[in-house]
Structure 1
Amino acid sequence: MADRPATMVSPETVCFIIVKAREYMGKDVVTIPDPGSNASDDAMSSVLEDHTDDPSQVELADIIDSLNDDEKIDLVALAWLGRGDDTADNWERLRTEALTARHTTSTAEYLMGMPMLPDYLEEGLAQFGLSCTDYEARHL
């Protein structure tokens, strides 16, 4: 377990993104393509389905897009770390790779395209001895 680098995006922010990513990525396939105008018309099942106008998708993208460039770099590096691309001891190398990586999409689109993003971020935090459980316990 490496020491937490000073440049890393705040664990609170990462934990918030993990929660929002789980909401977004926990959606099921659409079974009611044209739900009623009122969610109660379809027994609220539409909120669990992956519709194109899903507010959780928009919210997650907005959160990531609102980060400054250093925080976005850290978030990508943290996801790569959690995915097993490198170790926490090589954090600066991961950050440099994230900085120089040129994605054809925005950072939000790139990260939201990772099916296991919440797990990767959680594992990345764990590499530095951090967890969202610790954060939640301090903020309840």
Structure 2
Amino acid sequence: MPELPTLSISPEKAFFIAAKARQFDVKDGLTDPGSGSNASDDGMRSVLEDRTDDPVRSELTSFIHDLNEDEQIDLVALTWLGRGDGDIENWDEIRAEAARAHNTRTARYLLGMPMLADHLEEALSKFGRSAQEFEELL
């Protein structure tokens, strides 16, 4: 079996992003945009709404922004690998394309992908890693 490529981003960081992306993905559109009540008054429904000031979005954006450039490139490449844009054997090409496309909007780009968590977990499984290894970290 050929040796697996080395990742710049740690699997722990990638799985953390996947776990937070799952929390973000379950958000729903605004159900009561004019509501002035707090979460406990409305049965906690507002915590499941996708709002611009969403704390999960803010945490994910900040976390991705704080990654170094190589980690961000790997994160995008992992996402592409997980969605089927190539195989592990094509990692160098996938990563090179992610490096060419890299810009300052990595977080916005990734958070716009509805299946980000699935893509990351699928890609990491190709590297022999599973989410169960990291559940205690999440």
Q: Fold match, TM over 0.5?
A: yes
Structure-2 residue corresponding to 1:53: 53
Say whether residues 1:123 and 2:122 are aligned partners: yes
Structure-2 residue corresponding to 1:72: 72
Give the Cα separation in 1 of the matches to 2:3 and 2:26.
Answer: 32
Residue type at the aligned position of 2:123: G
1:6-47 deviation digits (Å, cap 9, x = unpaired): 234111001100111111111012112133342111111100
Give the Cα separation in 2 of the matches to 1:3 and 1:64.
Answer: 28
Which 4+ stretches in 1 moved above 6 angstroms?
none
Question: Cα RMSD between the aligned structures?
Answer: 1.9
Give TM-score scaled by structure 1 length.
Answer: 0.89
1:29-66 deviation digits (Å, cap 9, x = unpaired): 21121333421111111001112211111111111101
Give TM-score scaled by structure 2 length.
Answer: 0.90
Say whether residues 1:81 and 2:105 are aligned partners: no
Q: What is the number of residues matched between the two proteins?
A: 138
Give the Cα separation in 2 of the matches to 1:136 and 1:53.
Answer: 27
Instruction: Give the secondary structure class of the aligned counterpart of 1:136.
Output: helix
Seq. identity, %: 55
Give the Cα separation in 2 of the matches to 1:127 and 1:7.
Answer: 12
Instruction: Give the secondary structure class of the aligned counterpart of 2:40.
Output: helix
Give the Cα separation in 1 of the matches to 2:102 and 2:65.
Answer: 16
